[in-house]
Structure 1
Amino acid sequence: MDAIRNVLELVARGAETYLQNANSRHDPWLTLSAPLNTDGSVNEAARDRVVMCVYNLTRETTISTQAAAQPGAGGSGSYYQAAPPLYINIHLMCMANFGGAAYTAGLGVLSQVISYFQQNPTVNHATAPDLDPSIEKVSLELASLNSSELNHVMGLFGGRYFPAVFYKLRLIRFAATAMQAIVPPARGGGIAEQGRMA
């Protein structure tokens, strides 16, 4: 399962289609990429585009992840237990990577990105048929970073500041189906069973 990549590519594709419909151009308006290369140099392919990138992944703690016993196959009466599911939030940055004379144009494109996500806050199988089958839906929530958090995030990308908007994408579910243990059926201790034990 390649859930993170699948979801982010669908989100980026939807935003890019919206931007092209608003103001068509040969080059993309938005790219799912890092603003810097791994050696710290500027990613030239991301210049004069809105850069969508992941700046953090966090575990969702408001959902119970207790592993429940699942019924075994064939009506054997036994149950099996798998690892509890893990729910992940993806923290996204959309940065207007436009400099010089194109700076104001970048502000306009960033405004359109905000408008798109305001109109399309969820991704599901109805709006995105290519969504990973293991994911029912994901939602995008606008995130507000204080000055300290903003400085920290920008420091991750070389300390260069460009106007940016931040979103929390909820939730990506990871659930393994591999069996970890067999759980025997519970014995009730009712009258009939006590009679058999006498």
Structure 2
Amino acid sequence: MKIIEFLSKLVAAINAEIAGTPIVELANIATLNDGDEFLSSKSSIILSIVNIEEDKILKNQTLYKNYIPESDTIAKYRNPAQNLILSLLFTSYNIKQSDYTTGIEKLEVVIRYLQNNRVFYWQPPNNNLLIDEPKGDHEKLIFEIVSLKIDQLNQMWSYLGSKYMPSVLYQVRMIPI
């Protein structure tokens, strides 16, 4: 799975739920400033990756031997897939102060969408992001909301180098690379 493909399809899925202008854009919230003109919407939700970590629970897998045809006499080994946990931050980014309440409403739409669709399936051959469990090979992606304490929230926005903005943090589990 390619992370950028997954995030792009997630943004498209969320935006498809909303009538009118797309609200979610993929950008690095840490590099945005008040004068940024590259965003297509001046009152949008910015999706940023704030952390990528290894899933320690699934790490203890041993090397396994691939099945090889009987005609081949060489044993081949392959490392198991590495499972990652992505921390995704959805932030209400508004250039105009008057759009503050609109941004919170859009953030609520994202939260509602991910509350109703906590599990996604990534189907490798055509790289589709599906809500309903497909038949055949697929990877399961589980969204979990992360509740940060005030001091943790302060630390996160501090290392992002920005002032606090209304936001919600999700962890996405089971992303094999």
TM-score for the superposition, normalised by structure 1: 0.73
TM-superposition CA deviations, 1:47-93 (whole Å, max 9, x none): 41100110000100111332112222345465321123211011000
What residue is the counterpart of 2:150 in the other structure?
147
- Aligned positions of 1:158-197 closer than 5 A: 158-174=161-177
Q: List runs of 5+ in structure 1 lacking aligned partners.
A: 175-198
Aligned length: 164
What residue is the counterpart of 1:35 in the other structure?
29
Deviation at 1:147, TM superposition (A): 2.0
For the residues of structure 2 that align with 1:96 and 1:41, how far apart are their CA atoms?
13
The answer as to whether partners of 2:64 and 2:79 remain within 8 angstroms in 1 is no
Q: List runs of 5+ in structure 2 lacking aligned partners.
A: 130-135
For the residues of structure 1 that align with 2:128 and 2:3, how far apart are their CA atoms?
11
TM-score for the superposition, normalised by structure 2: 0.80
TM-superposition CA deviations, 1:95-140 (whole Å, max 9, x none): 01124110011111111110000111122157xx633898522121
Question: 3-state SS of the aligned residue for 1:103?
Answer: helix
The answer as to whether partners of 1:16 and 1:29 remain within 8 angstroms in 2 is yes
Question: 3-state SS of the aligned residue for 2:8?
Answer: helix
Cα gap change, 1:65 to 1:134, in 2 (>3 Å): farther
The answer as to whether partners of 2:45 and 2:91 remain within 8 angstroms in 1 is yes
Q: RMSD value over aligned CA atoms?
A: 2.5
What residue is the counterpart of 1:71 in the other structure?
67
What residue is the counterpart of 1:83 in the other structure?
79
The answer as to whether partners of 1:144 and 1:166 remain within 8 angstroms in 2 is yes
Give identity over the alignment, percent: 19
What residue is the counterpart of 2:37 in the other structure?
44
The answer as to whether partners of 1:142 and 1:168 remain within 8 angstroms in 2 is yes
Question: 3-state SS of the aligned residue for 2:90?
Answer: strand
Which protein has the larger Cα radius of gyration, Structure 1 or Structure 2?
1
For the residues of structure 1 that align with 2:111 and 2:78, how far apart are their CA atoms?
40
The answer as to whether partners of 2:27 and 2:46 remain within 8 angstroms in 1 is yes
What residue is the counterpart of 2:54 in the other structure?
59
What residue is the counterpart of 1:179 in the other structure?
none
What residue is the counterpart of 2:104 in the other structure?
107
Question: 3-state SS of the aligned residue for 2:57?
Answer: coil
Moved over 6 A (4+): none
The answer as to whether partners of 2:54 and 2:84 remain within 8 angstroms in 1 is yes
